[in-house]
Structures are given as C-alpha cells and as structure tokens.
Amino acid sequence: MRKNWMVVVALVCVISLIGGCIAHKVNLEESEKEITTKGPKETATESDVDVTTDPIVEETTTEETTTKGAKEKNIDPNKWMVALTFDDGPYTDGRTDKIVDVCEANPGTAVTFFHLGDRMKTHVELVQREEAVGCEVGAHSMSHKRLTELSLADLQKDFENQQAVFQEILGHDITVYRPPYGRFDDNVKTYVKAPLIIWTVDTLDWKYDNTQKLIDTIQKEAENGGLDGKVVLMHETKQSTADAMETIIPWLVEQGYQVVTVSDLAEYGFGEKLEAGKSYGYKFFVNRDLGSSGD
Ligand SMILES: [Zn+2]
C-alpha cells in the first residue's frame, strides 16, 4: 500500500514540474525613446518604457509562483508596497549607514542602494552589512560618468570593473543597475549586463537638502496608496535624507505600506523577474490600484 502511495506522489510531482516549465515563458514587449535631461543632477525624465505581459500566462503561472515566494519573504502582493532607492553612495557619518540602521530597527523593511564602484571599494563592511540586513545593493557605475558619452570600450570597462567589485565584496554579480542621471541608450542596454532601473517619483532631495521637506513630499505622495507600486528616487549624499528616513520608514509601515527592494517590488508586486537588456521606469513601476487594501 505504502509503495503505491509513493508512486502516486512521485507522479503528481513530475506532472506539476512539467506544467510549470511549459507555462513559465512570459512574453514582453518593450518600446522606448531617448530620454531628456532637465537639470544638472538626476532630474532626467526617464525613457518611455512600455512593458506588456501576456494576460493569460500571467494569470495562470506568475500568480502561483509569486504567492509562494512572497510567503517565504513575508510579502503580501495584495497590500501596498513601495521601493525606496538611494543613489551615489555609500557614505558614512549618518548617511548610508543611518539608512541601514533604520531598516534594521524596522524588521521586514528593506531599501535599495545604487552604489558607485569606487566608493564601494572604500566602504566594504558597510556594503556587506546592507545585504546582511536584507537591503538590496545595486550598481550606479564606477564614478558617475554619463554612460551615453563614453566610448564603447570605456562603457564596457566601467561595467566590468564594477562587476568585479561586486564579486569581490558581495560574491555575486550585479542584479540591478541605475545609470547615472537616468540616462541610457541602446549601447548602455547592450553593455550593461543587468536590468536598468529608473524611478517613478523624483523627490529632489539632493536639491532641497531639507529633512522636513522630504518627509512632507513623501507623505503627500503616499496618501491613499499613491505610492503603491512605485520606485522613489533619493540620495545617500545628504544627511537630511537619512534623517528623514527615521520618520518616513516607520510611518509608511504604519500607513500599511510594505517597504521592499526594487527586485521584490517587481517580482511580488508585478510578477516579473527583472531582466538584463531591459529598462524599468515610470511606465513599469505604476500604482496597482489596490484601493484601501494597504490599511
Ligand atoms: Zn547618481
């Protein structure tokens, strides 16, 4: 009897596996335009990205796998979620280090840092601690040059150099990449072998350098689930930004938001695994219209 049961269980497993593989393929279509820069810093409106997913495939498969992974991570896909991102670091003295402290003090919250390779090399322990507390470490080039103005050889070299820094410090490849100033073209998409992450909300924190103003900006955007599904751009260079996080992160949680990494937002919020050679911006990271489910 027992043997028969084992055979039945084994058969069910094999059938589920085959079904999962066949249904796994998701078709994506993407179109984009060249981006425009508004200001000296990262005020560029990002490229026009339009990602459509085959609705049938999405309904039958991604939901199943998403729910399973989400449970392990304790993320509820049906509740509001937002990705806070910080560029240009890492920095110490109450900046990047303070943001990591805030995440650690608020269990279940995680943010994404888009670091410069040159700075990572001089802040090894801090970068390793970011991952240890569950935050995501992404790349932002070696030294903040405009990638679209580099020669192909220099572009390739810049990415490879930072890939080596990631391998040495974190033991893995670059998983998410934000091009400096949000600027990219086809060459960047080809030679940067990681998903390009732009943003939905630009806080202009670097410009105002004011804790209360940043708190006000985010709280206003967050009203009635307004930040659900979105990626918020901030910087590691200002202490005022880190100070604001001390208030903002627990406040977002109180409002019913899950503060998650960019990769988790894509996977559990939108059922998408981020892919190299593609860009993800304000057309991808959109409000999911969950109504009051963040409460
Ligand atoms: Zn930057």
Quick check: 159 and 120 in contact, CB under 8 A? Answer: no
Phi, psi of 116 (to 5 degrees): -90, 135
Q: Separation of 182 CA from ligand 1 center, angstroms?
A: 8
Q: How far is the CA of 88 from the centre of ligand 1 (A)?
A: 5
- Based on the residue annotation, tell me whether 88 is a catalytic residue of this protein: no
118 C-alpha vs ligand 1 centroid, how far in Å? 13
Note whether 283 and 246 are within 8 A (CB).
Answer: no
User: Tokens standing for 96?
Assistant: 């990047």
Nearest residue to 109 via CA among 79, 128, 135? 135
**Whether pLDDT at 4 is above 60:** no
β-bridge partners, 231? 83
Q: Average pLDDT of 68-79? A: 80
Please tell me the predicted confidence (pLDDT) of residue 70: 65
The mean pLDDT value for 98-111 works out to 97
CA atoms within 13 A on the CB side of 62: 19
* 26 Cα: distance to centroid of ligand 1 (angstroms): 32
Residue predicted with more confidence, 54 or 82: 82
Q: Which of 245, 233, 176, 167 is nearest to 206 (CA)?
A: 233
* Ligand 1 midpoint to CA 181 (Å): 6
Catalytic residue flag (residue 205): no
Q: How far is the CA of 66 from the centre of ligand 1 (A)?
A: 31
d(C-alpha 261, C-alpha 135), whole Å: 7
What pLDDT, on the 0 to 100 scale, is given for residue 17?
41
Confidence of residue 295 (pLDDT cuts 50, 70, 90): low
The pLDDT of 233-247, averaged and rounded, is 98
In the chain, domain spans: 27-280
The conformation of residue 36, written as its DSSP 8-state character, comes to B
Residue 146 pLDDT > 90, yes or no? yes
The pLDDT assigned to 235 comes to: 98
Q: Which residues surround ligand 1, an ion (CB under 5 A)?
A: 87-88, 180
| Separation of CA 274 and ligand 1 centre (Å) | 21
User: Across all residues in the chain, what is the average pLDDT?
Assistant: 83
Q: At what angle do helices 96-105 and 124-132 cross, to 10 degrees?
A: 20
- Residue 138, CB-side half-sphere exposure with 13 Å CA sphere: 29
- My answer on whether omega of the bond before 90 falls inside 30° of 0, hence cis, is yes
Per-residue pLDDT at 48: 35
Q: Is-contact 87 235, C-beta < 8 A?
A: yes
The reply to whether the predicted model has a pTM over 0.95 is: no
Identify the active-site residue in 88, 235, 243, 264: 235
Instruction: Please give the residue that has the higher pLDDT: either 56 or 284.
Output: 284
Instruction: Tell me the two tokens of residue 207.
Output: 């410009």
The stretch 203-216 carries a mean pLDDT of 98
Rounded distance between C-alpha atoms, residue 30 and residue 118, angstroms? 32
Going by C-alpha positions, the residue among 110, 114, 127 that lies closest to residue 168 is 127
Q: Which of 4-13, 144-153, 253-262, 279-288 has the lowest mean pLDDT?
A: 4-13
Interval between CA 178 and ligand 1 midpoint (Å): 8
> Quick one: pLDDT band at residue 68, thresholds 50, 70, 90?
low
Residue 63 reports pLDDT greater than 70: no
pLDDT of residue 289: 73
Residue 224 alpha carbon to ligand 1 centre in Å: 30
Q: Parallel, antiparallel, or unpaired: how do β-strands 201-202 and 81-87 relate?
A: unpaired
Q: Which of 30-34, 43-47, 207-211, 280-284 has the lowest mean pLDDT?
A: 30-34
pLDDT score at 291:
66
Fold of 27-280: TIM Barrel (3.20.20)
